[in-house]
A and B are shown apart, each in its own frame.
Chain A
Amino acid sequence: MTRFIRYVLLVVGAAVMIYPFVWMTGAAFKTFSEATRRSLRLFPVHWQWQNLADTWDGAKFDLFFVNTFWVAGWVTLGVVCTSLMAGYAFARISFPGRSILFIIVLATMMVPFEIILIPNYRLILELGWYNTYKALIVPWCANGFSIFLVRQAMRGIPADYFDAARLDGCGHFRFLLLVAAPMIKPTLVTVALFAFLGTYNSLMWPLVVTSDERLRMVQYGLVVFAGGEGAQRFNLLMCAAAIVITPTVILYFAAQRYFQDSALGAGLKG
C-alpha cells in the first residue's frame, strides 16, 4: 500500500513536471487565436505544421545553433580544464595562500551577474573583443562553482592513491590525468553539463557584448518571437521554445546517469 501511494505521488509529480512541456508542444502547432484561447485542450484542433517552417525561417536558427554549439563547446572545454586543474590544486597541493585563494574563488560565486556586467563589458571593449567570439567564450571559461565542485570531489579520493602513484614515479599532472580525473568522471560530466547549459541558455551577456547577427545564439531566437507592445506571436514563441529546448533535453538524458552519480556520489561532502 505504501509502495502504491509512493508511485501515485511520483506519477502525479511527474505529470506536474511534464505538463508544461506537453502544453508548450501543443501550443507550438496551434493558430495564434487558438494558442491564446483559455482552454483545457492540450493539442490543436488542426495541426499547423507551417508554424515549424515559419519559426525556423523567422529567426535563422541554423546559424544560431552553429554559433551556440561552437561557443558552448569551447566554454565547456575551458571550464572542465580550469576546474580540473584548480580543483586538484586546492584539494591536493599545499602552497602558501591556498586558503585565501580558495576563499576568493568562492567569493566570486556570491557576486551577482548584474554587478559584474558593466566592468566586464568595459574590459571587453578595452580589449577590442566587442563583437567577437572571444567575448562570448573567454570570460566564461572558469568559474568558482565548478572549481568548488571538483575540489570537493578530489578531496574524496583517498591520499593513499596519490602516495602509491608517487612511489611509482607519477607527478601531479600525470596523476591528475590518469588517476584522479577518471575517478571523478561523474563530477566532471556534471561540471561540463552545467557549463554547456549555462552558455546555451545565456542571453543577456551575448546581447551586451555582440550586436552582429552573425554571432547570435539560440536564446536570441526566442526573443525574436517575444515581440513587444502587443506584437507577441505566442504560437511561434512556443514553437521556438520547443526547438530551443530539444538539444538540452537530449543532452540531459544522455548525461543523466553521470549527473545522478555525481549528485549522489561525490555530492558536496567534505
Chain B
Amino acid sequence: MIDSKRIIVASQCVAIAFVLVGCGGGGGSEAGFEPIDDSAAVMWVRQTTTAEVLLNEIVDAFNAERVGLPVKIEYAGDYGDIYRKVSASIQAKSLPGMTVAYESMTTEFAMTGAVQRLDDLIADPEVGLTEDELADFFPGVLETNRYAALGGGTYSFPFSKAVLVMYFNQRVLREAGISDPPRTWGAFVDQCRTIKQKTGKFAYAIDIDCSTLDGFLMAMGGDIVSEQGDAFAGPEMLQVFQMLRTLVDEELAYLTPPRTFEDRSALAQDEVAFIFRSSSHLAPIGELMEGDRDAWGVAVIPQHDPEQPRTVLYGPNACVFAIGDDQVRTSWEFIRFFSRPENSVKWALGTGYLPVRKSAAELPELKAYWAEWEGHRVPYDCLTFARPEPNRAGWQEVRGLVEVAAKGVVTGIRSPEDAARELSTKATAILKAAAP
C-alpha cells in the first residue's frame, strides 16, 4: 500500500520538475518564423459582430483590387488572449501575417525579432507613403508606433484610435445652475462643489484606469516619463492624486467597481454630472441616454492651460510579422489600405473609433456625422493635441502600479504624497530594468 502523504509529496516534486523542464529551452529568438497559413496573410483581431462585418467588408475591398496573396481576418480573443496566442506562436515560430496589438505588446513581440520593422516599407516608392500622406496623419497616431527602445524604428501602424474625453450630464448641470462644462481643473472642482451643494448629488463617478490617470497627468501639464527615463517624476501625478482625494473627502466623487461600466449608468441616470472615458464609449452612452441629445454632452477634459490642451491617445495598432516577403508586403499593403481616409472614416463611423488622417475631415460622410450633433466632432478635434502613453517595455507592469496607487489614494489607504512618491520610484525602476 502506498503512503498517501508520500504520493502527494512525490507528485508535487514531479510537477515542479515538469514546470522546470517546460521553462527551459524554448524557441530561439532568431529569424525563421513561418506563416501559420500559406494561402493568406492572416490578421488576428479582436473585433466581433458589426465591427467584424465592417472589417471584412474592408478586407474584401482590398482583396478585390489586388492580385496576389489575399488577406484573411481571424478572431483571436481579447487583447490578453491575443498576447498569449502570439507569444505561444513566437515560441512555435509559426505566426500570422499581422495582428492588432497595443504598444506594450508590440515591444515585447519585437524584442524576439518576430516583428517586421516598417520604415523601409513606408519609404518604399512603390508601396510606401509619400511625405504628404505621412503629414496627413495626426502626429500622435504615428509617434506612438515609433519605438525609442527599439532604435526608434516603426514596428506598428495605427489601427483603431480613440482619445480620453469628458462626458457630462446636462440635466444635472442645469439643476445645479451650471451652463457650460469646466475647462480647467480648478473650475472642475468648483463645479463639483456647486453640484453637491445645489443638488446633493455626487458630481463625478470615478473609474480607476491607468490611461485616464495618464490623461489627467498630461492635462495637468506633466509628462509620464521624463527625458532621463524617470516615470511620474514631476509634481503632476501628486496633483492628480490630491485632487482625487479632495473630491472623495468632500463627497463630491465616488469610486465605481472596476470593469463594470457603472459610471456610465450613473451618468445616464442623472446620478452624477461627469465621467471620463474613451471616445469609443460615445455610441453606448448615447444609447443609455435613450437618444436625448439635449441631456448630455462631450467635452475636452479639463486642463491646466486650456490654450495648450492635452489628452491621452489610445487604441491598438497593427504590427506585421517577419514571416516572408510576400506575407510582409501583403500585410503592409493592407494596413496602408486600411488607413486611407475613406476606409478610416468608414471604420470610424461603424465602430466609434477615430479617423487617423486629417483629410478625413473633408469627406461628406464625416461632415454629415458631425452635423448631426456637436458632440460628435469633439473627439476628432482632440486628435491634434492627443498624446500616446509610453511604448516602452515594462509599461504593462507600470499600468498596474498606477491603478493600485490611485485606488490607495481614493480609498484613503495611502496619502497622495506617499502614493505618488512610491509610484514614481517603482515605475522608474521597472522601466529601467525592462529597457533592452
Contacts from A to B (Cβ < 8 Å): 32-33, 36-38, 58, 99, 102-104, 106-111, 115-119, 121-122, 125-126, 130, 203-204, 207-208, 211-213, 220, 223-234
Instruction: Indicate if B196 sits at the interface (CB-CB under 8 A).
Output: no
**Known: A104-B14, A108-B18, A110-B15. Is A230-B278 also a contact (CB below 8 A)?**
yes
Are B81 and A111 in contact, with the CB atoms below 8 A? no
Which of A33, A122, A207 sits near B92, CB closer than 8 Å?
Answer: A122
User: What's the least CB distance linking A20 to chain B, in Å?
Assistant: 15
B19 and A117 contacting across the interface, CB-CB below 8 Å: no
Mask: chain B, 71-91; 1 = CB below 8 Å from A; 0 = not: 000111111010011011101
Cα(A125)–Cα(B33), bound, Å: 13
Q: Which residues of B contact A223 (CB under 8 A)?
A: 48, 77-78
Which residues of B sit under 8 angstroms from A110, Cβ to Cβ? 11-12, 15
Contact B76 A207 (CB under 8 A): yes
Residues of B with Cβ closer than 8 Å to A? 2, 7-8, 10-15, 17-19, 22, 26-27, 36, 42, 44, 46, 48-49, 51, 74-79, 81, 84-85, 87-89, 91-92, 94, 160, 162, 261-262, 264-266, 268-269, 277-278, 280-281, 283-284, 287-288, 290, 315, 351-352
Whether B18 and A107, one on each chain, are in contact in the complex, defined by CB atoms closer than 8 angstroms, is yes
Q: Which residue of A lies closest to B77 (CB)?
A: A207
B88 in complex: contacting residue of A58, A109, A121, CB < 8 Å? A121
- Select A107's contact among B12, B266, B280, B284, beta carbons within 8 Å: B12
> Which 7 residue pairs of A and B lie closest in terms of their CB atoms, listed nearest first?
A107-B14, A110-B15, A230-B281, A106-B11, A211-B74, A107-B15, A107-B11
Instruction: Report the Cα distance A132→B19, complex, angstroms.
Output: 27
Whole-angstrom distance from the CB of A254 to the nearest CB of chain B? Answer: 32
A-B contact pairs, 12 of them (CB 8 A): A33-B268, A107-B11, A108-B18, A109-B15, A122-B27, A125-B92, A212-B74, A225-B48, A227-B49, A230-B283, A230-B284, A231-B280
A32 and B289 CA atoms in complex are apart in Å by: 11
Cα(A228)–Cα(B277), bound, Å: 13
Q: A38 touching B265 by the CB < 8 A rule?
A: yes
Q: Are B51 and A37 in contact (CB under 8 A)?
A: no
- The answer to whether A208 and B261 touch (CB under 8 A), given A32-B287, A213-B75, is no
Highest count of chain A CB atoms <10 Å: which of B7, B27, B79: B7
The total of Cβ contacts below 8 Å across the A-B interface reads: 137
CB distance from B271 to the nearest CB of A (A): 8
Tell me the bound Cα distance from A220 to B77 in angstroms: 8
Q: Give bound CA distance, A118 to B92, whole Å.
A: 8
CA distance A115 to B160 in the complex (A): 32
Q: Are B14 and A103 in contact (CB under 8 A)?
A: yes
Chain B residues whose CB sits within 8 angstroms of the CB of A208 once the complex forms: 81, 84-85, 88
Q: How far is the CB of B314 from chain A (nearest CB, A)?
A: 9
Residue in chain A with minimal CB distance to B282 = A230
Rounded to whole angstroms, the CA-CA distance of A130 and B35 in the bound complex is: 12
The answer to whether A99 touches B2 (Cβ under 8 A) is yes
Nearest-CB distance from A234 to chain B (Å)? 8
CB-nearest residue of chain B relative to A234? Answer: B261
Instruction: Determine the chain A residues whose CB is within 8 A of the CB of B160 once the complex forms.
Output: 229
Measured CB to CB, the closest approach of chain A to B32, in angstroms, equals: 14
A97 nearest CB across to chain B (Å): 13
B78 nearest in chain A by CB position: A228
> CA separation between A92 and B10, bound complex, in Å?
21
Query: Does A106 lie within 8 Å of B7, measured CB to CB?
Result: yes
Which residue of the partner chain B has the closest CB to A54? B49
CB contact between A33 and one of B18, B89, B266, B290 (< 8 Å): that residue: B290
Residue of A with least CB distance to B91 = A118
Q: Shortest CB–CB separation between residue B14 and chain A, in angstroms? A: 4
For A121, what are the chain B residues with a Cβ–Cβ distance below 8 Å? 88-89, 91-92
* A224 B77 Cβ-Cβ under 8 A: no
Using A106-B11, A130-B36 as known contacts, list a sample of 14 further A-B pairs with CB atoms less than 8 Å apart, ordered by residue number in A. A58-B49, A99-B7, A107-B14, A109-B11, A110-B12, A208-B85, A211-B44, A211-B76, A224-B48, A227-B49, A228-B46, A230-B352, A232-B261, A233-B49
A106 to B, closest residue via Cβ: B11
Report B376 CB to chain A, min CB distance, Å: 15
Contact status B22-A119, CB under 8 Å: yes
A58 proximity list for chain B (CB < 8 A): 49
Selected contact of B264 from candidates A36, A126, A227, CB within 8 Å: A36
Give chain B nearest CB distance to A229 CB in angstroms: 4
CB-defined contacts of A38 to chain B, threshold 8 Å:
262, 265-266, 269
Inter-subunit contact B261/A36 (CB<8 Å): yes
Within the complex, what minimum Cβ distance (angstroms) separates A132 from chain B?
Answer: 13
Set of chain B residues within 8 Å of A226, measured between Cβ atoms: 78
- The smallest C-beta distance from A139 to any residue of chain B, in angstroms, reads 14
Q: Shortest CB–CB separation between residue B341 and chain A, in angstroms?
A: 22
Closest chain A CB from B127 CB (angstroms)? 26
B19 touches A111 (CB 8 A): yes
